[in-house]
Structure 1
Amino acid sequence: MPMYLSKFSYTPETWARLIGHPEDRRTAAQTYIESVGGTLHGFWYAFGAHDGYTLWEAPDNVSMAVVALALSAGGAIGSLETTVLLTVDETIDALHRAALVTYRAPGEEQPAG
């Protein structure tokens, strides 16, 4: 199954609620991804541009989008960015296949042929 890295930031209101009633949000995140047949592999809070990071596994991009849309619509998260992760083997395969693509940069002439 594909892996996904999500970066999220809570709204100030969400932080205020968590300060008033601290809770471990890993359980909620696990429930969301399991509802589409996926697995939560990690959940971390951070300092910096984003409040936290999650590592998910989901059956496909649509399943991950379902979770991302539901989380975004819930109102507690101010921003959510999800990146599809490739394995090393998938990347090696892509590198081999990229060699078969003929690329022409903007402004370059078409090769004769």
Structure 2
Amino acid sequence: MAKYLFEANYVGDGIKGLMREGGSKRRDALVGALKSVDGTLECFYYAFGKTDVLGVFDVPGPADAAALSLLINSTGSVNVRLKPLMTPEDLDEAAKKTPSYRAPGQ
């Protein structure tokens, strides 16, 4: 499973829907969306300021995360941003790799 941090902001009618339905129904809607791609919700929090809602979920892979992001953002009611999360062990594995790269202009 791949773990993602999500941050989202409600936009336009999304704000009205949140006010009408309440926070727990919107969380339940995300749980349903995640189930449709065999994912699970780890945590979900509302905030105020720059970000309206944030949390962590697990999905089988990046294509599932991208599909959710595309679907949710396509509604025009929510602007969601995803960040893949890595464990310290994932970073250990990355540090062992020796990719090849040429910087621009070199």
RMSD between superposed Cα atoms in Å = 1.7
Q: Aligned with 1:48: secondary structure?
A: coil
Q: Give structure 1 stretches of 5+ with no counterpart.
A: 109-113
Counterparts of 2:14 and 2:36, CA distance in 1: 23
Shift of 1:46: 1.2
Percent identity, please. Answer: 30
When the two structures are aligned, how many residues end up with a matched partner?
A: 105
Q: Which residue of 2 aligns with 1:101?
A: 99
Name the TM-score, length of structure 2 as normaliser: 0.85
Give the unaligned 5+ runs of structure 2.
none
Structure showing greater radius of gyration is 1
**Structure with higher helix content:** 2
1:57-111 per-position Cα deviation (integer Å, ceiling 9, x unaligned): 000101111111111122321x2111111111010110121xx234444444xxx
TM-score normalized with structure 1 length: 0.81
One-letter code aligned to 1:92: D
